[in-house]
Amino acid sequence: MEFARAMRCCQSMTMLAGIALVATSAVGGSAARAQTPYWAGRTIDLIISTEAGIAFDVTARLAGRHIARHLPGNPNLVARKMPGAGHIRAANYIYGQAPKDGTTIGTLLPVFVTSQVIDRSDAIQFDSAKFSWIGSSAWATSTTYVLASTGVASIEDARKRQVLMGGTGAGAYSTLFPVIMNNLLGTKFKVIAGYKGTAELNIALDRGEVEGRAGVPLPSIKLERPEWLAARKINIIVQAGLERDPELRQVPLLIDFAADDEQRRVLRLFSADAALGRPIIAPPGIPAERLAELRAAFAAAMADRLYRKEAADIGAEVVPVTGEKLQSIVDEIVSTPPGIVAKAKQATDRGNAVMPAQKTK
């Protein structure tokens, strides 16, 4: 009897211990799962709207890699190029097709924001104000330069003689700015459009096929063709932006040439997106927690000594802009009054200022 009672007691204790062990394991497993960062084991797609190898692409990959480093769980990052349609293709994809869980981000030349306001066609399938704006690794004005050999050193000079400008797509800065300046400032730019990208445009300049180019930030010139600056091969004649680049204090802003307040507001519309610099965005509607984590990782990356060293090693400037600031700039652009938008649209009328590149051969 005593033996049987002892056995039953032992069995009960064993069963209780087993239950306790299972319960402990379950709780421990739940805790472990709760502590696993959302980003662990995930892969982030970084969509880049330019061709590979140019300054914008190189700096985008660098910033993206360091943002991923600062996300909890250290996700992988894969860069995917998606050029085309004046950066509209990438914007449409991120806005309407990419997953809205934080695992797709993108960095695009910000002309797509102004294109939305001016174009308003079916090709625009996004609302810039609704993107999730993460931050920008640097802002810079958008310059227009001409080969020094032309003798053109100012906007006034460009009013006196025709200057052949290289261009890519219809909505790209390289085509857009010369057309705007022709219509509003009386310049005589002739855009040879259809080059496939920056690399082709630079080669065309080296060969003398074209004489200038618009829509190029100074940091990009430094990265891609520093010898042009060192040898004074080019004259930077104007810059688009809301304030002058500290290194280009002597170069006038586009808005400085406004004849009246209305024209100034039109030119400001075309200049404001330069303040967005190299923006990093995510689709609209991602969870607030994910956006907060991405913004925090961006801020940490921009302050990281390793990131700054690697940026310095390739000659990339680090002048970060917060996602909140980007959002305010975009809100201003998209809320431009209809009357100013109508005038701006007139300023983009290409007339006979643009011709395909093959016609020059």
Task: Tell whether the model's pLDDT for residue 28 goes beyond 70.
Answer: no
- pLDDT per residue over 224-262, tens digit each? 899 999 999 999 999 999 999 999 999 999 999 999 999
The pTM is what?
0.78
- pLDDT per residue over 97-130, tens digit each? 999 999 999 999 888 898 899 876 778 889 999 9
C-alpha closest to that of 348 among 127, 111, 139: 111
For residue 59, give the 3-state DSSP assignment: helix
Name the one residue in this structure whose structure tokens are 């690794």: 137
Work out the mean pLDDT of the chain and round it to a whole number. 87
For residue 166, give the 3-state DSSP assignment: strand
- pLDDT per residue over 178-227, tens digit each? 999 999 999 999 999 888 888 889 999 999 999 999 998 888 898 889 99
- pLDDT per residue over 265-281, tens digit each? 999 999 998 889 899 99
Tell me the pLDDT band of 10, cut-offs 50, 70 and 90.
Answer: very low
CA distance 131 to 87: 15
CA distance 216 to 205: 14
Which domains are seen in the chain, by residue range?
43-140+274-336 (3.40.190.150), 142-273+343-360 (3.40.190.10)
Task: Tell whether the model's pLDDT for residue 335 goes beyond 70.
Answer: yes
